Amino acid sequence: MNRLFTALCCILCSTVAFAQYEIDGVRLQPPAQDGIWVRPADGVPAQAIWGFADGIRVGINPPGRPRGLLDIFCPYLGDGERSIINYIAMEPIVAGTRNRGLSELEKSSIDGGQGKVFISSDVPQRPSQWDKLHPARGTVTVEDGKQTLTVWIYCERFDNGADVYVRLRFIEDNPYQFELQAFAGTESAPLESFILTATMGNKMRLRKLYTANEVKLSTEIWPDYKDKWFSPYDRTPLQGMIRDRKGGAWAFSEPSETQQDYINAQYEDGTSNGWKYKGKTATQYWYAPVPHPELQTVVNGRYTYWAIFKKLPGGIAFENFELVEPFRQGTIYYFGVSPEKPGKLIKQINKIK
């Protein structure tokens, strides 16, 4: 039932306008533009959203939607200013165990609500309490001649004892990606892995996964899967991933459809409007600049939309899309949603020196 509630909230609330967000009857102001950035409005109750004025944005704890997720907004894709393209969940695995902590499904120890609370900070120090009306604004600095916007996102302690947080950083000349640096707190249970998983590939119906030697198709990985749950995982080891000249590892995924296909798609009766993507096609990707030798690209798929169990137009597509490796304190990853095709992006990274 909790999974059903979470998914329905994701779907039904994905079209709520920023200006309508309220907490306890207090209206939250939309993110304010500050040069090339947007970030929470200063000195007033504000929505917790950071990123590029003309690029990708990340939000947390939105009223009316599940918590425990990084909300990925991509208004440049034309599916609406308030349309969420994907979510990233925090899923730590404690050493000696196999089960993941689930940030979007576990109960909050702060208020008992659904989903772990994410708490923002301008400094690398966990705030003593959660101010749900006044998120951190983020810090704008210049690094190597480029403006950056940085905010720290702390998660409540997980039921398995994991205590994790990330540093989000947006860098001036990369408007379609952001950096996540992964940490465990000093009182955390020892970690096997700290997985940051993009959880909603079905929104854009991602079906192509680019590796070093082939393009994997979801419909070929699981040709006979017709169940209403998650498919088994498919794993690509580091040796099969695309590498740049510095040794970084990349995983690219894109839809098998065009924007016109999106517009003309035929959905089963009862499919919620929040799943009916009509924006531009885009490439979603993960990048690990210093990969562990055991790094893997991991995907699973769904034949039906989560919770409503209506078939996806065109067949099974990737749902979770993630990099998995043994935990290392301070590991850096990048997540991007680019309007460019994978082929062009791959040519660009081959030029990295």
| Averaged pLDDT, 129-143 | 95
Q: Residue range 108-114: average pLDDT?
A: 90
Q: How high is the pLDDT of residue 80?
A: 78
Check residue 352 and give its pLDDT.
59
pLDDT digits (tens, 9 = 90+) for 48-66: 999 999 999 999 998 877 8
Cβ contact 48:135 at 8 Å? yes
CB atoms within 10 A of CB 160: 17
3-class DSSP assignment, residue 346: helix
Contacts of residue 26, defined as CB under 8 A and 6 or more positions apart, other chains included, come to 45, 133
> For position 351, what pLDDT does the model report?
64
The two tokens of residue 267 are 């959905």
Running DSSP on this structure, what letter comes out for residue 273? G
* pLDDT at site 337: 98
pLDDT at position 64 is 78
Give the residue from 254, 255, 252 showing the smallest Cα distance to 323.
Answer: 252
Say what the pLDDT of residue 65 is. 77
C-alpha closest to that of 283 among 230, 320, 335, 231 = 335
Q: Compute the distance between CA of residue 332 and CA of residue 329 in angstroms, rounded to an integer.
A: 9
Cα gap 104→90, rounded to integer Å: 8
Q: What is the mean pLDDT of residues 271-292?
A: 95
Q: What is the pLDDT of residue 16?
A: 37
Per-residue confidence (pLDDT) for residue 142, from 0 to 100: 97
As a whole number, the mean pLDDT across the chain is 92
Reply yes or no on whether the pLDDT at 4 is more than 60. no
Q: What's the confidence (pLDDT) of residue 3? A: 45
Q: Does residue 2 register a pLDDT over 50?
A: no
Beta bridge pairs of residue 332:
181
Structural tokens at position 248: 């970084």
Cα 85–Cα 91–Cα 92 angle in degrees, nearest 5: 155
Confidence bin at 83 (pLDDT 50/70/90): confident
Q: Please report the pLDDT score of residue 174 as a whole number.
A: 96
Alpha-carbon dihedral 209, 115, 55, 336, rounded to 10 degrees:
-20
User: What confidence score (pLDDT) does residue 20 get?
Assistant: 61
Q: What percent of the chain has pLDDT over 70?
A: 93
Domain ranges of the chain: 200-353
pLDDT at 19 over 60: no
**Which amino acid does the sequence have at 36?**
I
